[in-house]
């Protein structure tokens, strides 16, 4: 019991920077959620049950575009499929005797940042360390969402629109660092941007909903890149 509490406290300490980062990003999400027509309770519930910035922003875009439930579900499955791979990796760091209950609780809180912090732990990973990370990271995300929704009613419309630009800054921060020095990834990003622009501007694609566009572009571009330029196993281990 003492060891579990110690691991939880260590997770809380390591999770504070994550919570602060989430607070800033989710503030923007709260503003956009307000613009999309969600009330504070709906926005907070969405943040508390769907801990993924990319998935939530995409979900709001689809909701605002009146996409179907199927489109939203498939888009979320594609966008969040990376967490399956993260779970595979983390399953190798935990004790093989870890119960299904603990595995499910850990799976709820896996995000890019929680995964990174968990993988950096030396030796076996304790579920309670992950609980410590999530116990501060998740409230930080939810609190930021709440503040964003409330500010959407208080701040002037111009200020709200200006803060919404932070979303694009977050997305740029996600794709630029890994693309540096990686010609393949840079090419895929460039092709994705051009293809998205064509889908948005060409009249022939106007009848296709935003959800279907995201699904098609993701599967086609990622599939072609994986087929033509597969990542060698040695490169994976070196990374």
Say if residue 120 is in the same domain as residue 236.
no
Say if residue 91 is in the same domain as residue 206.
no
Q: How many domains does the chain have?
A: 2
Say if residue 116 is in the same domain as residue 223.
no
Which domain-ending residue is among 152, 177, 202?
A: 177
1's CB contacts (< 8 A; 6+ apart) are none
Say if residue 41 is in the same domain as residue 156.
yes
Maximum distance among all Cα pairs of the chain, rounded to whole angstroms: 64
Say if residue 159 is in the same domain as residue 42.
yes
Residue 237 and residue 72: Cα distance in Å, rounded? 34
Say if residue 62 is in the same domain as residue 83.
yes
Residue 164 and residue 63: Cα distance in Å, rounded? 17
Q: What is the pLDDT of residues 104-155, one digit of tens each?
A: 999 888 888 888 888 888 888 899 999 999 999 999 999 989 998 887 667 6
Q: Give the model's pLDDT for residue 174.
A: 57
Say if residue 81 is in the same domain as residue 38.
yes
Say if residue 49 is in the same domain as residue 140.
yes
Would the pTM count as exceeding 0.75? no
In order along its 239 residues, the chain shows pLDDT tens digits of: 678 889 999 999 988 888 888 887 788 888 888 878 888 899 999 999 888 877 888 888 888 778 888 888 888 887 787 788 788 888 888 888 889 999 999 988 888 888 888 888 888 889 999 999 999 999 999 998 999 888 766 767 666 666 656 556 656 765 676 677 778 888 888 898 898 888 888 888 777 766 567 778 878 887 888 788 876 644 444 44
Q: Give the model's pLDDT for residue 58.
A: 81
Residue 152 and residue 31: Cα distance in Å, rounded? 5
Say if residue 130 is in the same domain as residue 15.
yes
Which residues constitute the domain of residue 193?
Answer: 181-239
Residue 209 and residue 66: Cα distance in Å, rounded? 9
Say if residue 15 is in the same domain as residue 70.
yes
Three-state secondary structure call for residue 130: helix
């Amino acid at each position: 019991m003492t060891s579990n509490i110690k691991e939880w406290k260590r997770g809380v300490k390591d999770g504070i920077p994550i919570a602060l980062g989430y607070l800033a990003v989710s503030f923007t999400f709260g503003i956009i959620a307000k613009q999309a027509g969600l009330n504070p309770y709906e926005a907070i519930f969405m943040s508390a049950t769907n801990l993924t910035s990319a998935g939530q922003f995409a979900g709001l875009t689809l909701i605002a575009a009146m996409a179907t439930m199927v489109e939203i579900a498939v888009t979320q499955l594609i966008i969040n499929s990376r967490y399956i791979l993260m779970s595979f990796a983390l399953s190798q760091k935990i004790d093989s005797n870890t119960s299904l209950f603990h595995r499910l609780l850990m799976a709820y809180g896996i995000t890019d940042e929680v995964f990174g912090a968990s993988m950096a732990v030396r030796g076996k990973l304790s579920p309670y360390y992950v609980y410590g990370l999530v116990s501060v990271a998740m409230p930080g995300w939810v609190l930021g969402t709440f503040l964003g929704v409330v500010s959407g009613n208080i701040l002037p419309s111009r200020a709200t629109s200006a803060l919404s630009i932070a979303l694009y800054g977050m997305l740029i921060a996600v794709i630029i660092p890994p693309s540096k020095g990686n010609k393949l990834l840079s090419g895929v990003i460039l092709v994705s941007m051009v293809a998205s622009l064509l889908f948005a501007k060409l009249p022939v694609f106007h009848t296709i909903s935003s959800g279907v566009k995201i699904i098609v572009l993701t599967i086609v571009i990622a599939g072609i890149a994986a087929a033509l330029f597969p990542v060698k196993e040695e490169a994976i281990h070196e990374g």
